[in-house]
Amino acid sequence: MYTGKTVFSQLISYLPKYEFNKCVDRYKGNHRVKRFSCWDHFLSMAFAQITSRPSLRSTVNVLHARQEKLYRMGFRSPISRSTLADDNENRDWRIYADYAQILISIAKDLYKNDDFELDIKETVYALDSSTIDLCLNLFPWAKFRKTKSAIKLHTLLDIKINIPDFIEITHGKFHDVNILDILIPQPGSFYIMDRAYNDFYRLYQMHLIGAFFVIRSKSNMKFRRIYSHQIEKALGLKCDQTIQLTGLKTSENYPERLRRVRYFDSETEKLFTFVTNHFLVDAVIIAQLYKYRWKIELFFKWIKQHLRIKSFYGTSENAVKTQIWIAICVYVLIAIIKRNLRLDLSLYTFLDILSTAPFEEVHILQLVTNNDNFKSGPNIYNQLYLFD
């Protein structure tokens, strides 16, 4: 039987600790810290996410129950609930936000050659937000309405690989369209958005940068049709037009021509109207691109169901952002390991299996495949990590 590292220590072996230390140094996370470093803090919170612990006390109790294995799992200091709570309150959440971006870069590089169902070479992003409701008495800093608080998780998802490229956490009153002032578009990429982002001034800035957008049109949009292109009605297309905005403000905010595509979805029996600044791809591709926007809805659903981002271990803004960013780190880490080990199973199944055996001294591949070929041998572990 394999008697090497624990499952948890195998997971964290995929984390670039040198890059983590650079994030810590950037924000002086270990300044005047003698025990329980930022790395110990990160590992504790990552353990809580992987095993879906309901509270910090539960996390500490489980770790203390296997005290003899903590050093081999990467922990270098004693763990207590009060210390963990204090670190959530006081350690700069930007340490973990920056580290998440590093992991995202690694994951994107691993998945960059994946095939996409549509015949399109450009990178395709879906932009949306998800609201997380909070208790007003416990989270007064995030006041949303008279009786409750909330935060918003604004996410830009690369829908070809299902990896978030940009994440911003704001209070619940922050309007979705304002995120376009923070987002830096990449020239040549597609941005798929819903009606909430329909602001032609901001869309024109995106156009000037050289990025493309596909957005659902509002019903009261005023425009003048300049030209109608031929369409294939059998594909569900209703029209493909070149238009000019005629509204008093919209014509000033977006002075150039746009493309308007109407599409009937036979599955939902709904008629959709899209506006885009891309004139070269087929009209049906525009409609299909918007259909892939639902991947970001699945992303929000997945992380809310399988990671701890709906109930929080602390009540301060710093504690909430720390927990969310470490949850994102865990999501991306699982995706990195899944690709490195070439596992043909869903992220949920993989995380579900890992959550049951963090202390087990069994190779991950043996754990998920139950294959006798991974049971013993001193060189098995090194061979499996040859190309990392």
Give all strands (DSSP E) within 197-236, no chain letters. Answer: 212-216, 223-228
CA dihedral over 335, 339, 342, 344, signed as positive or negative: positive
Q: Which of 329, 323, 306, 295 is nearest to 151 (CA)?
A: 323
Residues in the chain: 388
User: Alpha-carbon distance 188 to 271, whole Å?
Assistant: 28
Residues 6+ apart with CB under 8 A from 12: 43, 46, 73, 74
pLDDT bracket for residue 140 (50, 70, 90): very high
Radius of gyration of the chain (CA): 24
In this predicted structure, what is the pLDDT of residue 376? 39
Residue 166 three-state SS: strand
In this predicted structure, what is the pLDDT of residue 2? 55
What's the pLDDT tens digit per position in 323-361?
999 999 999 999 999 999 998 888 888 988 999 899 998
What's the pLDDT tens digit per position in 168-190?
999 999 999 999 999 999 999 99
pLDDT bracket for residue 17 (50, 70, 90): very high
> Where along the chain do its domains lie?
7-96+309-384, 198-287
User: Alpha-carbon distance 271 to 292, whole Å?
Assistant: 16
User: Alpha-carbon distance 217 to 366, whole Å?
Assistant: 51
pLDDT bracket for residue 386 (50, 70, 90): very low
Q: What is the residue whose two structure tokens read 């948890």? A: 8
Q: Which residues pair with 151 in a beta bridge?
A: 132, 171
User: Alpha-carbon distance 384 to 341, whole Å?
Assistant: 8
User: Alpha-carbon distance 279 to 92, whole Å?
Assistant: 45
Task: Tell me the C-alpha to C-alpha distance, in Å, between residue 50 and each of 13, 103, 246.
Answer: 15, 16, 53
In this predicted structure, what is the pLDDT of residue 382? 39
Give all strands (DSSP E) within 40-94, no chain letters. Answer: none
In this predicted structure, what is the pLDDT of residue 217? 93
